[in-house]
Amino acid sequence: MFAILEDLQPQDRHALLTPLITPRPIAFVSTRGADGIGNLAPFSFFAMGGQSPQSVAFCPVADRNGNPKDTLRNVRATGEFVINIVTRAMAERVNQASAPYPHGVDEFDVVGFTRVPSVMVQPPRVAESPASLECRVFQVIPHGSGPLHGTWVIGEVLAAHIDDGILAADGLPDTAKLDPAARLGRTEWSHVTTDSIFSLVRPTVGRPSGQTPG
Ligand SMILES: Cc1cc2nc3c(=O)[nH]c(=O)nc-3n(C[C@H](O)[C@H](O)[C@H](O)COP(=O)(O)O)c2cc1C
């Protein structure tokens, strides 16, 4: 098939591309409003970039009336957020946290996650997540306007909390121990297991990695 995106309805674009751009890691984003009310919501339009400084980006999409999500309102108001990594064990409750609760309802309470105070920012982290990143907003960039447009929130990672239990012998996080969940298309999710991981050494010029000289 061949598709020109302009010819498709927004929901059809989303349905077409989400099974392709996978697996998407999930940022479970904790924020606080100017009124101090907390909020917790998952975002799979989520990536990292750079190293100095270290940035992360996620993209809240406006609703069908063009209204921003609580998470976007909060990061605009306070400039702070915490990204909690979603594990397989957390997936069902994270999914529940994405229900359209009204403003003023803190998903920590309705879904039953535990707050832990952060060190460098106001929003708390999620105790049930083995890895959390405290972040400060760098830039907020809308792409388009009106119903279903996205707004990229780019943040700088200030601090990382990582459970010792998911560290490997080399002191770095072991992804299989973390068991992170990811979004695919439709209602499908995935997670990383030992069986799904393979390793490739960074190549030198001229020879595909893993290939021995002939
Ligand atoms: C796994 C998962 C990933 C999601 N990813 C996004 C996303 O990247 N962007 C978005 O706008 N909504 C996404 N959603 C939907 C939001 O989480 C949902 O609209 C939520 O209610 C927003 O909460 P808020 O209004 O409290 O910020 C996702 C939902 C789930 C379950």
pLDDT tens sequence across 53-90: 999 999 999 999 999 999 999 999 999 999 999 999 99
Residues 87-139 pLDDT 10s: 999 999 999 999 999 888 999 999 999 999 999 999 999 999 999 999 999 99
Q: pLDDT category, 209, cuts 50, 70, 90? A: low
Average pLDDT over residues 10-39: 97
C-alpha closest to that of 140 among 66, 85, 79 = 79
State whether the beta carbon of 106 lies less than 6 angstroms from ligand 1.
no
How far apart CA 111 and CA 106 sit, in angstroms, is 9
* Mutate which of 26, 69, 103 for ligand 1 pocket (most atoms within 8 A of beta carbon): 69
What is the predicted pLDDT for the residue at 60? 98
- 41 touches ligand 1 (CB under 6 Å): yes
CA distance 141 to 156: 15
CB of 60 within 6 A of ligand 1: the answer is yes
Sequence-separated (6 or more) residues with CB below 8 Å from residue 32: 38, 39, 74, 78, 80, 122, 123
Q: Is the CB of 61 under 6 A from ligand 1?
A: yes
The rounded Å distance from CA 7 to ligand 1 centre is: 25
Question: In angstroms, what is the span from residue 83 Cα to ligand 1's centroid?
Answer: 13
Lowest mean pLDDT among 138-142, 173-177, 189-193, 203-207: 203-207
Q: Is 70 in the pocket of ligand 1 (CB under 6 A)?
A: yes
Distance 21 CA to ligand 1 centre (A): 17
Domains in the chain: boundaries: 5-193
Query: Is pLDDT above 70 for 212?
Result: no
5-193: CATH topology: Pnp Oxidase; Chain A (2.30.110)
Ligand 1 centroid, distance to 98 Cα (angstroms): 5
pLDDT at position 103: 85
What is the chain's Cα-based Rg?
Answer: 19
**Spatial separation of the C-alpha atoms in residues 12 and 174, rounded to whole Å:** 37
